[in-house]
Amino acid sequence: MEETATRIKELRGILNRHNHLYYVLNEPVISDQEFDHLMKELETLESDFPEYYDALSPSQRVGNDISQEFVQRDHKFAMLSLGNTYSKEDLADFDIRIKKLTENQFSYICELKFDGVAISLTYQNGRLAYATTRGDGIRGDDVTNNVKTIKSIPLVIRDKGVPEYFEIRGEILMPRDGFEKMNQERIANGEIAFANPRNSASGTIKMLNSKEVARRPLDCYLYLLAGEKLPANTHIENLKHARDWGFKVSQHMEQASNIESVYKYIDYWQSEKSTLPFDIDGIVIKVNETEVQEELGFTAKSPRWAISYKFPADQAETILDSVDFQVGRTGAITPVANLQAVLLAGTTVKRASIHNEDQIQQLDLFLGDTVLIEKGGEIIPKIVGVKKDKRPIIAMQVQFIKYCPECKTKLVKISGKAKHYCPNAGQCPPQIKGRIEHFVSRKAMNIDGFGTETVDLLFQQGLIRNVADLYTLKVEDMLGLPGLGKKSILHLLDSIQKSKIVPFQRVLFALGIRFIGETVAKKMARSIFSMEELLASSKERLLEIEEVGDKIADSFLIHISIPENLEIIQRLTDHKLQMESDMRNTSLSEVLKEKSIVVSGVFESMSRNELKQLIEHHGGKNISSISKNTSYIVAGKNMGPIKLEKANNLGIKILTEQEFLDILEDKNS
């Protein structure tokens, strides 16, 4: 019994971690099949040993993708996940269960399982009211402004017979050709290519700048109509109506009279999925008749009338020749396997990711091993297994390196981290070049014409050793260098000069300080208005900035404690880059000066972000956590009970949305 309790606790911890990686960070590290196997083991143990039931177990919830950057909105109709299976035997059991639960005649609808991000669109009186992500199935993020940029989604429906209120569910995805074109543009701009279409779609729909979303090649297929007054009593007829109203509904949907017809549909698309213009990872099977759907009902997590059959990830077998160790911009060391060329999912594969030392040890890799590689949407496939029975009699075990392959510095491993790092940030060539490539990228300083090859060339010639050196480049320095004509040199120098008007928050992001991404850089620039003030800030002051915790504050302070980094910042200042925030010039009044304000809940007249901007424009400071230094809280609907309790205990004044607006109105009247 003690072993069972330990395993249940272990599984819950593992699954919670992978839920967070998948739904919040969009950085999955295991395949869907591996996750589902772990979940199946947990569900079996909890069923066999009900005394270990826990309402907060990952088996009792739907994965959560809620971001605190967005206002949350309740789903009128729960947006639950589907049960997954990888075998036809499970589908046969599904068919038997349904026949036991109903005496009514029914059929199945077979649909492609799009590999994107789920979305719910709500229409009122023929107009798109709002778009909400799945979230936890009960409430999700309101991403209406971003969804409005997707041209395949109708904003207004003028057809007769459209219900006064309905929701339509679907999947936002990125077609392969658009994804590849976008990556080509990113590489040409010196930016890192995105990993796969699914993660790109998920990350894009959560961006705070809808103008940037509009530039991404998103599409949306709809697959479920929900409402109280639907036009038909079958799933397929309702979707045909939705198609007539202007929604993009897949043409590949088919009705099946029995489970054998479902198998045929699965077999066809498992072999033909590569012919589609977008990625799918399986097939969804639903009961067609809505009356039977209602009769079957739901479990706590999923409808009883639907299930998804997941395709196994594409795999191939090949030989491991060698392992390279690559050094990233932050000094992280990543092992990459060199393989004998093999065809996998339509492409020739010669390299595969191994991630870190732990995975090398877990796989027990030897050079010359016959390995299984898997491509589940990743650009670089990964090794998922070893055929140890095929191992050569004489073989050398793969050993993780102890010294940096580029600068020979002894590697370090940070406690709690899986990766090793080269600490020689100032002298290690890949780290230096990586920081320069990040600095010139479009979202940072946007210096056009500075791809990876140009950075490498100028570094090899000794013309640049850090980002400040870019601003000392001259025409005569580069004339005669391979691949650089005078016209391209002039364009490059002109782009460098234009970068001097890039706003402070992007300069801060461009410095490449660990953990300070675009969003955090903006938060810092909105709270502390100049580099001079930032450099003089204590850790306590940094922690007052929204989204800045110990990890980010410590990283910033460590960065500026290094003399070489301070010298670079000073040189950039001398070259007239923007080291003061233009956000200080947006002040409407100082009625909130020296006020530290927490915003919590959902508001009626504006979004939470708009409210926070209003606070800044009137001289106030947004903070994320409640303390004795909090001036007051602006509370909307559904304010968190923990925050409310803490505010009451500290005696902090709580303002309604209207009371807050009245303060601003009195000042401006």
Tell me the per-residue pLDDT of 307-319, one tens digit each, with 9 for 90 and over: 999 988 778 899 9
Length of the chain: 669
Whether residues 304 and 320 share a domain: the answer is no
The CATH number of the domain holding residue 12 is 1.10.287.610
Helix, coil or strand: residue 322: strand
Q: pLDDT digit string (tens) for 157-201?
A: 877 789 999 999 999 999 989 988 988 887 777 667 777 788 888
- Domain hosting residue 450, numbered range: 429-501
Q: At what angle do helices 88-101 and 259-272 cross, to 10 degrees?
A: 150
Average pLDDT (489-509) is: 93
Residue 108 and residue 188 in one domain: yes
Are 118 and 187 spatial neighbours (Cβ–Cβ below 8 Å)? no
Residues 628, 652 share a domain:
yes
b/e string for 183-213 if b means 16 or more Cβ within 10 A? beebeebbbeebbbbbbbbbbbbbbeeeeeb
- The residue among 69 and 171 whose pLDDT is bigger is 171
**Residue 67 within any structural domain of the chain:** no
Domain assignment present for 292 = yes
pLDDT (0 to 100) of residue 292: 92
Token pair for 281? 């990872």
* C-alpha distances in Å from residue 363, one per residue of 38, 378, 543: 18, 19, 41
SS3 644: helix
Which of 484, 501, 518 is the last residue before a domain boundary? 501
Are 174 and 217 a contacting pair, CB within 8 Å? Answer: yes
CATH number at residue 258: 3.30.470.30
Specify the pLDDT at position 536. Answer: 94
- How many structural domains are present in the chain? 6
Q: Determine contact, residues 543/527, Cβ cutoff 8 Å.
A: no
CATH at 466: 1.10.150.20
Does 457 map to a domain?
yes
For residue 569, being part of any structural domain is answered with yes
Kindly tell me if the per-residue pLDDT of 429 is higher than 90: yes
256 closest CA partner among 74, 35, 412, 108? 108
Whether residue 550 sits in one domain with residue 490: no
Q: Which of 346, 371, 406 is the last residue of a domain?
A: 406
- Sole residue written with tokens 């699914």: 198
In a domain, 417, yes or no: no
Whether residue 172 is found in the same domain as residue 82: yes
Q: Is 253 a domain residue?
A: yes
On whether both 306 and 334 belong to a single domain, the answer is no
Look up the CATH number of the domain holding residue 620. 3.40.50.10190
Q: Does the pLDDT value for residue 60 go beyond 70? A: no
> Quick count: other Cβ atoms within 10 Å of Cβ 71?
22
pTM recorded for the entire structure: 0.54
- Residues 638-659 have a mean pLDDT of 82
Rounded-to-integer distance, Cα 163 and Cα 227, Å:
8
CA max distance for the chain = 87
Residues 35 and 110 in one domain: no
**Domain presence at residue 413:** no
Report the pLDDT value the prediction gives residue 299, as an integer from 0 to 100.
77
pLDDT of residue 49: 78
Residues 149 and 226 both lie in one domain: yes
Mean pLDDT for 460-486 is 93
Give the strand pairing for 382-386 and 370-375.
Answer: antiparallel
Q: Pick the catalytic residue: 76, 113, 539, 595?
A: 113
Strands 108-114 and 382-386: unpaired
Same domain? For 338 and 210 the reply is no
Q: Do residue 472 and residue 541 come from a single domain?
A: no
On whether both 171 and 257 belong to a single domain, the answer is yes
Out of 16, 31, 60, pick the residue that ends a domain.
60
Tell me, yes or no, whether 467 and 447 share the same domain: yes
**What CATH number does the domain containing 342 carry?**
2.40.50.140
Question: What is the per-residue pLDDT for 667?
Answer: 54
- Residue 172 and residue 220 in contact, taking contact as beta carbons nearer than 8 Å: yes
Q: Nearest-CA neighbor of 435 among 463, 459, 402?
A: 459
| Alpha helical stretches, state H, 499-607 | 504-510, 518-527, 531-535, 539-543, 550-560, 563-574
**Dihedral angle over CA of 316, 318, 321, 324, nearest 10:** 0
Percent of the chain with pLDDT over 70: 92
Active site residue 148: no
Joined together, the tokens standing for residue 132 give: 């909400």
115: pLDDT strictly greater than 80: yes
Does residue 137 belong to any structural domain of this protein? yes
Cβ pair 400, 408 in contact under 8 A: no
Strand partners, 339: 320
